[in-house]
Amino acid sequence: MPEHIHLAVALDGAGWHPAAWREPAARPRELFSPRYWTDLVRTAERGLLDLVTIDDTLALQTGTRGVPDERVDQVRGRLDALLVASFLAPLTSRIGLVPTVTTTHTEPFHVSKALATLDHNSRGRAGWQVRVSAQPAEAAHFGRRSVPGWDAARLGTDELPAELADLFDEAADVVEVVRRLWDSWEDDAEIRDVATRRFIDRSKVHRIDFEGRFFSVRGPSITPRPPQGQPVVAVLAHRRVPYELAARSADLVFVTPTPARGAEAVLGDVAAAVAAVDRTEEPLHVYGDVVVALDGPGESGADRLRRLDDVAGEPYTSDTTVFGGSAAELADLIASWHALGYRGVRLRPAALPDDLDRIVTDLVPELQRRGLHRAAYPEDSSLRGLLGLPTTVPNRYAEVR
């Protein structure tokens, strides 16, 4: 078990509670401003966190996932996560930047070069949270395909209907193509020799010639290989099929322990998925998600959650653990997950900026006192290095050549 647990924070709008935008410290007028996102990520970097994820979808948010609504009392609309991360890259220096990019309606060639560009702009701090879209409203924005949508009766078990499982198979192909395109330039393909008039060595720029069930991609990329070789790939997973996508394709998996299925059982689910796909390379790193409302001056986190529920007019529910309490109690929960074998946790602040501020000022020092969090960033570390992933990633085409 590594000495320190890795800390990530998931950023989305005004926070993960739907009434967060109405809090006194909230900044609803700035949710679509560069200053707001800069302030959040610089705060996370001040707390020595490993990475931030930036949430995104291809349709407006809804009160109930997959069910369109006309509500006006909750935040609607987002900036593009990848573009936000690209903006933040030169304004930060150590923290990883992991935007959500959907695979279902985006071309893998575009995804590859955009994420490679982010890795260049951030000097090796880029990642990618892979997302599958099973929402008819998202498909309607593109008009090129239909998707079946959510059916609660059919999704009540661990198995997915075949047409939804296909979306995860497609996502695995997208990740494979993106990874091949990242390798399509060898690290020393750029010569840049004015005297010999040679900018690149064409023998070190490779076609990938991918032929799959869903698409074919010739390659090569138009963007040189990213500084990390392979930026970090992450998947949020709740059940067998997405667990297997993570085991086949990702470096990290964000999982969602709940009272109904606890942290230890979820680890067993991930282990079963790893075995099912016969993953033999670097172990899949597991991060547990938790929605966080921390105690503040004059109000406990639990009381604040209840007050936010009253404001919203309904109780807040989540796909993962919801925590309301002190920094010490949250540190106890994190330590217990770490002892089980979790490599990290991803904290979802219930309200921004309040809970992010308290993560940095209250939780981080508590974890440092327990020897569970770093005292400083390592020098000149890529995101892969920061997370304990291999920093030398062989190029598959260089080996062939």
Residue 298 Ramachandran class (φ > 0 left, ψ -120 to 50 alpha, else beta)? left
Count of Cβ atoms closer than 10 Å to residue 395 Cβ: 21
Say if 117 falls within a structural domain: yes
Q: What are phi and psi of 88, to 5 degrees?
A: -75, -20
The pLDDT of residue 148: 73
Q: Give the ranges where 143-300 is alpha helix by DSSP (H).
A: 162-183, 240-249, 263-276
Say if 45 falls within a structural domain: yes
CA–CA separation, 375 and 282 (whole Å): 26
Residue 223 Ramachandran class (φ > 0 left, ψ -120 to 50 alpha, else beta)? beta
Q: Is the pTM of this model over 0.75?
A: yes
Residue type at position 214: F
Distances (CA, A) of 95 to 146, 328, 355: 38, 24, 18
Q: Give the ranges where 292-344 is alpha helix by DSSP (H).
A: 301-312, 327-340
Say if 237 falls within a structural domain: yes
Say if 314 falls within a structural domain: yes
Q: Which two three-digit tokens encode residue 29?
A: 């007028």
Say if 1 falls within a structural domain: no
Q: pLDDT tens, position by position, for the chain (401 residues)? A: 457 999 999 999 999 999 999 999 999 999 999 999 999 999 999 999 999 999 999 999 988 877 888 899 999 999 999 999 999 999 999 999 999 999 999 999 999 999 999 999 999 999 999 999 988 888 888 888 888 766 655 555 567 778 888 999 999 999 999 999 999 999 999 999 999 999 999 999 999 999 999 999 999 999 999 999 999 999 999 999 999 999 999 999 999 999 999 999 999 999 999 999 999 889 999 999 999 999 999 999 999 999 999 999 999 999 999 999 999 999 999 999 999 999 999 999 999 999 999 999 999 999 999 999 999 999 989 999 999 999 999 999 996 55
What contacts 124, CB < 8 A, 6 or more positions away? 226, 227, 228, 382, 383, 384
Which residues make beta-bridge pairs with 200? 190
The pLDDT of residue 147: 80
Total domains present in the chain: 1
CATH number, residue 150: 3.20.20.30
Domain range for 379? 6-400
The pLDDT of residue 155: 55
